[in-house]
Amino acid sequence: MISMPEWREADTEVHPLWRRTFNQDWTGPDVAAPCPVCGNTGLHRWYLLENARPRKYDGIEFAGRGRLWEWCDSCRTFEHYPDGSVPSWWSAPYGPGIPDPGRTPEAIERARVAAHRRGVQGEPEESSRHAE
Ligand SMILES: [Zn+2]
């Protein structure tokens, strides 16, 4: 078994770069850029729509209010936003919803890995991520 690092929140030092990295790639559940903390490619986001109320801010359409998780599947740095706006383009991947993920993205990450194993995501092979 490979032991995984504990989940920990992005600290204030890394936060500006973390924000910029996620904001620059705001189109789907995966972010192509390397993690600002560990440099590996494995950044993901997940929205949970809690209060559907479609509206438009600055020309961007939102589906309503909800929560957002952002994380790195390699070093397990994460951010959790308990109250934010869910964009209209969001469509939850990894099969059926995750009813109460909690504060860390643990449950979401597990669903993501399971979906990846089933081939749902169609992601490229993990190659550089797990060095021997
Ligand atoms: Zn990382």
How many Å lie between the centroid of ligand 1 and the Cα of residue 38? 4
Residue 107, SS3? Answer: helix
Q: What is the distance in A from the centroid of ligand 1 to the CA of 81?
A: 18
Per-residue pLDDT, 2: 66
Domains in the chain: how many in total? 1
The answer to whether residue 126 is domain-embedded is no
- Please name the helix (run of DSSP H) or strand (run of DSSP E) that holds residue 112, with its range, or none: helix 106-118
41 pLDDT above the threshold of 90: yes
pLDDT at 31 over 90: yes
Residue-wise pLDDT for 116-132, tens only, equals: 888 855 444 444 444 44
**How far is ligand 1, taken at its centre, from the CA of residue 46, in Å?**
16
**Residue 119 Cα to ligand 1 middle (Å):** 23
Measured in Å, residue 43 CA sits from the centre of ligand 1 at 7
pLDDT confidence of residue 1: 58
Q: What is the pTM of this model?
A: 0.85
Per-residue pLDDT, averaged over 86-102, amounts to: 85
Angstrom CA distances, 107 to 41, 71, 115, stand at 20, 12, 12
Residue 128 lies in a domain: no
Cα(34) to centroid(ligand 1), Å: 8
What is the average per-residue pLDDT within 85-103?
A: 86
Distance between CA atoms of 38 and 79, rounded to whole angstroms? Answer: 15
Q: Which neighbouring-strand residues pair with 80?
A: 69
Between the CA of 76 and the centroid of ligand 1 the distance, in Å, is: 6
Does the CA dihedral 25-28-29-32 come out positive or negative? negative
- The helix, strand and coil proportions of the chain, stated in percent and rounded to the nearest 5, come to 15, 35, 50
Lowest-pLDDT choice from 15-19, 24-28, 105-109, 112-116: 112-116
| Those residues with Cβ within 8 angstroms of residue 65's Cβ, 6 or more apart along the chain or in another chain | 49, 50, 51, 53, 83, 84, 85, 86
Residue 30 pLDDT class (50, 70, 90 cuts): very high
Which residue range forms the structural domain that includes residue 84? Answer: 8-118
For residue 127, being part of any structural domain is answered with: no
Q: How far is the CA of 85 from the centre of ligand 1 (A)?
A: 25
Position 100 scores a pLDDT of: 78
- For residue 129, being part of any structural domain is answered with no
Instruction: Specify if 3 maps to a domain.
Output: no
Query: What value does the mean pLDDT take over residues 72-97?
Result: 91
CB distance 40 to 74 below 8 Å? yes
Is residue 125 in a domain? Answer: no
Q: CA 78, CA 69: separation in Å to the nearest integer?
A: 7
* Mean of the per-residue pLDDT values of the chain: 88
123 found inside a domain: no
Residue 95 lies in a domain: yes
